[in-house]
């Protein structure tokens, strides 16, 4: 019987028994530090947290499974409209809306994935772009339901857990989004280090070999696609619930393209690479646009070129270099506890 071996790079960090969830603990400390240090920028920081979730969903596809998609905005926008409509017509409890948005995002991914995942390479990318454009057009035409160009508004979210109201300053919205991010990140870290996650990474490395070894490649890819769609739907729901308005820009191709840029900046196939890339992109975008709204894209473009040329693995490579230097100074080997 033929046996397969898992590369050390894929198996690294698979054991978590007895360890604290270090990345989640660091994120919690940093998030709470920002909460108290920048109370006037909570809206912007909430937007960063939401975009991190979207980029994580793309990293699960591209970085861990090798599925290059430019249609994640469709699931993001679908989740946003689902949460908004659910709050407007059924119930305005944020957690119920979040669950419904996750289910709707996963459903959109499942239906589209059944068709699109039969294609490969450029054909698949074009199909995802077409799906995003089609979703945008449908939402624009159904203005009686979605509000069209005017957006979906008029709903007010109920207090979180019946006690914490979504205030004007965004305190509840930021802490709520941060908590969801920590839960999703922990779940993804367990997922990518599970046998199922390792099989997905095997598909990324060599799809044909995994097929010849008897792995259900199409089924694994479809399940990953559905999970990524659900996470994108959660991100969209958080956007709808914290801003309490949903616009067509949540379905735009620009959002999918920017998510891909953020992932490349941070580094694919490393969960905290998605976090780093999103934070850097959003902060640079924010301040560069304030300084000169006409040339902020030039700054982003130059930064992306520099990263691709000098840090081919993304900015996460700087973290690895720093950790390796510290390990050498301590006379031991570092452990990757972030996946």
User: Is the pTM of the predicted complex or chain greater than 0.95?
Assistant: no
Query: What mean pLDDT value characterizes the chain?
Result: 87
User: How far is Cα 158 from Cα 82, in angstroms, rounded to an integer?
Assistant: 16
Crossing angle between the packed helical segments 316-330 and 271-291, to the nearest 10 degrees: 120
Asked whether the beta carbons of 80 and 208 are under 8 A apart, the reply is: no
**SS3 of residue 152 by DSSP:** strand
Whole-number pLDDT of residue 314: 87
CATH architecture of 20-330: Orthogonal Bundle (1.10)
User: How far is Cα 300 from Cα 228, in angstroms, rounded to an integer?
Assistant: 26
Residue 63 has pLDDT above 70, yes or no: yes
Whole-number pLDDT of residue 167: 87
User: How far is Cα 113 from Cα 124, in angstroms, rounded to an integer?
Assistant: 10
Task: Count Cβ atoms below 10 Å from residue 318 Cβ, excluding itself.
Answer: 14
Domains in the chain: boundaries: 20-330
The conformation of residue 251, written as its DSSP 8-state character, comes to G
Q: What is the mean pLDDT of residues 73-78?
A: 96
For the stretch 78-134, pLDDT in tens is 999 999 999 999 999 999 999 999 999 999 999 999 999 988 889 999 999 999 999
């Amino acid at each position: 019987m033929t046996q397969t071996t898992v590369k050390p790079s894929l198996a690294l960090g698979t054991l978590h028994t007895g360890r604290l969830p270090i990345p989640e603990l660091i994120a919690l400390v940093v998030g709470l530090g920002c909460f108290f240090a920048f109370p006037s920028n909570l809206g912007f920081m909430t937007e960063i947290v939401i975009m991190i979730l979207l980029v994580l969903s793309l990293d699960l596809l591209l970085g861990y499974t090798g599925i290059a998609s430019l249609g994640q905005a469709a699931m993001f926008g679908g989740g946003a409209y689902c949460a908004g409509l659910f709050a407007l017509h059924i119930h305005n409890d944020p957690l119920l809306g979040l669950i419904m948005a996750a289910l709707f995002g996963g459903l959109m991914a499942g239906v589209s994935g059944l068709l699109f995942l039969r294609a490969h390479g450029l054909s698949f990318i074009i199909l995802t772009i077409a799906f995003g454009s089609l979703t945008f057009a449908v939402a624009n035409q159904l203005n009686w339901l979605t509000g069209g160009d005017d957006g979906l508004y008029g709903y007010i979210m109920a207090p979180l857990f019946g006690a914490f109201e979504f205030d004007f300053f965004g305190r509840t919205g930021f802490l709520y989004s941060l908590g969801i991010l920590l839960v999703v990140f922990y779940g993804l870290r367990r997922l990518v280090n599970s046998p199922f996650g390792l099989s997905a990474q095997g598909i990324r490395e060599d799809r044909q070999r995994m097929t010849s070894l008897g792995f259900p490649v199409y089924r694994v890819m479809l399940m990953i696609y559905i999970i990524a769609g659900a996470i994108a739907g959660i991100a969209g729901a958080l956007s709808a619930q914290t801003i309490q308005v949903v616009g067509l820009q949540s379905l735009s191709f620009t959002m999918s393209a920017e998510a891909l840029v953020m992932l490349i900046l941070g580094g694919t196939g490393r969960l905290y690479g998605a976090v780093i890339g999103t934070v850097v992109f959003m902060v640079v975008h924010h301040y560069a646009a304030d300084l000169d709204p006409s040339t902020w894209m030039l700054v982003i473009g130059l930064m992306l070129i520099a990263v691709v040329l000098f840090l081919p693995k993304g900015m996460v490579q700087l973290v690895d270099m720093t950790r390796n230097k510290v390990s050498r100074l301590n006379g031991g080997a570092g452990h990757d506890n972030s996946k």
